[in-house]
Amino acid sequence: MNLLYCFVGVFIGTLIGVLPGIGSVGTMAILFPVTFNAPPLGAIIMLAGIYYGSMYGGSTTSILVNIPGEMASVMTCLDGYQMALQGRAGPALGISAFGSFIAGSLGLVGLMFLAPALTTLALGFGPPEYFSLMTLGLMILIYIAQKSLTKALISGGIGLILSYVGLDIVTGTERFSFGLPEFIDGIGIAPIAMGLFGIAEVLQNLETTVKGTLLKTKIKGLLPTLQDWSDSIFSILRGAVMGFCLGILPGGGASLSTYVTYAVEKKISKHPEKFGTGVIQGVAGPEAANNGASSGAFVPLMTLGIPSNAVMAMLFAGLLVHGITPGPLMLQQRPEIFWGLIASMYIGNVILIVLNLPLIGIWVQVTRVPFRFLFPMIVLLCIVGVYSIDSSILDLRVMMFFGVVGYLMRKCGYEAPPLILAYVLGPGMEQALRQSLILSNGDFTIFLVRPISAVCLSLAALLIILAVLPKKKRLVMPENT
- The ranges assigned to domains in the chain are 2-470
Query: Average pLDDT for residues 110-137, to the nearest whole number?
Result: 81
pLDDT at 473: 44
pLDDT at 461: 87
pLDDT of 422 above 70? yes
pLDDT at 477: 41
pLDDT of 352 above 50? yes
Summarised one tens digit per residue, pLDDT across range 353-387 is 887 777 776 766 666 666 677 778 778 878 887 88
Lowest mean pLDDT among 139-153, 275-289, 439-453: 139-153
Residues 417, 154: contact at Cβ < 8 Å? Answer: no
Q: Please indicate whether residue 425 or residue 19 has the higher confidence score (pLDDT).
A: 425
pLDDT at 254: 67
Residues 299, 114: contact at Cβ < 8 Å? Answer: yes
Q: How far is CA 222 from CA 66, 91, 98, in A?
A: 18, 5, 10
Q: Please indicate whether residue 329 or residue 43 has the higher confidence score (pLDDT).
A: 43
Most confident of the ranges 31-35, 130-134, 355-359:
130-134
pLDDT of 189 above 60? yes
pLDDT at 6: 92
DSSP one-letter string for 274-328: GTTS--THHHHHHHHHHHHHHHHTHHHHHHHS---SHHHHHHHHHHHHTT---ST
Cα(58)–Cα(73) distance, integer angstroms: 6
pLDDT of 405 above 80? yes
Q: What residues pair up with 314 in beta bridges, in sequence order?
A: none
pLDDT at 481: 40
pLDDT of 215 above 70? no
pLDDT of 8 above 80? yes
SS3 readout for 144-171: CCCCCHHHHHHHHHHHHHHHCCEECCCC
Lowest mean pLDDT among 36-45, 243-252, 296-305, 334-343: 243-252
Cα(422)–Cα(419) distance, integer angstroms: 5
Closest CA to 420 of 25, 12, 31: 25
Percentage above 70 pLDDT, the chain: 86
Amino acid, res. 338:
F
Amino acid, res. 478:
P
Q: What are phi and psi of 166, to 5 degrees?
A: 125, -145
Amino acid, res. 190:
A
Query: Average pLDDT for residues 106-130, to the nearest whole number?
Result: 82
Summarised one tens digit per residue, pLDDT across range 40-88 is 899 899 988 888 888 777 777 777 777 666 666 778 888 888 888 888 8
Q: pTM, whole model, 2 decimals?
A: 0.74
Lowest mean pLDDT among 114-123, 189-198, 315-324, 438-447: 114-123
The residues, any chain, with a CB within 8 Å of residue 59's CB and separated by 6 or more, are 17, 69, 73, 76, 80, 93, 96, 97, 100, 283, 287
Amino acid, res. 454:
A
Query: Average pLDDT for residues 454-468, to the nearest whole number?
Result: 82
Angle (CA) 430-433-439 rounded to 5° is 140
Chain centroid to CA 97: 20
Query: Average pLDDT for residues 261-290, to the nearest whole number?
Result: 85
Residues 238, 265: contact at Cβ < 8 Å? Answer: yes
DSSP one-letter string for 51-80: HHHHHHHHHHHHHHTS--SSGGGHHHHHHH
pLDDT of 135 above 50? yes
Cα(59)–Cα(285) distance, integer angstroms: 12
pLDDT of 144 above 70? no
Q: Please indicate whether residue 221 or residue 199 has the higher confidence score (pLDDT).
A: 199
Helix axes 281-296, 40-64, angle to 10 degrees: 160
- CA torsion angle 288 294 295 297 (round to 10): 140
Percentage above 90 pLDDT, the chain: 7
The residues, any chain, with a CB within 8 Å of residue 471's CB and separated by 6 or more, are none
The neighbour count for residue 211, using CB atoms within 10 Å, is 8
Mean pLDDT of the chain: 80
Cα(347)–Cα(83) distance, integer angstroms: 30
Query: Average pLDDT for residues 97-101, to the nearest whole number?
Result: 86
